[in-house]
Amino acid sequence: MPGGDGTGPFGQGAKTGRGLGNRGGKGMGRMNGNRPGAGIGGNCVCPSCGKTISHIQGTPCYSIKCPDCGVKMIRQ
């Protein structure tokens, strides 16, 4: 802030250049604000055989292979 007065670059007003655009002041946010994250609960499901295991926090389901058939699992 050039003068420390909250006007931003070149005195164009506060919050310029921060991705606010025409989103009504909501900003970009997570995934453009369309939907929240899946959270810590839930299950990983095999799309091939239907095997279900508990989701492990910090590990994406698509990185886990099904213990029965070896296909990458999906989040549900």
Q: 25 and 47 in one domain? A: no
pLDDT of residue 41: 83
Q: Are residues 70 and 42 in the same domain?
A: yes
Burial 20-55 (b: 16+ CB within 10 A, else e): eeeeeeeeeeeeeeeeeeeeeeeebbbeeeeeeeeb
To the question of pTM greater than 0.85 for the whole model, the response is no
Say which amino acid occupies 7: T
Query: Are residues 29 and 46 located together in one domain of the fold?
Result: no
* Number of C-beta neighbours around residue 66 at 10 A: 19
pLDDT tens-place string over residues 46-65:
999 999 999 999 999 999 99
Query: Could you tell me the residue range of the domain that residue 17 belongs to?
Result: 1-36
Q: What is the CATH number of the domain that holds 61?
A: 2.20.28
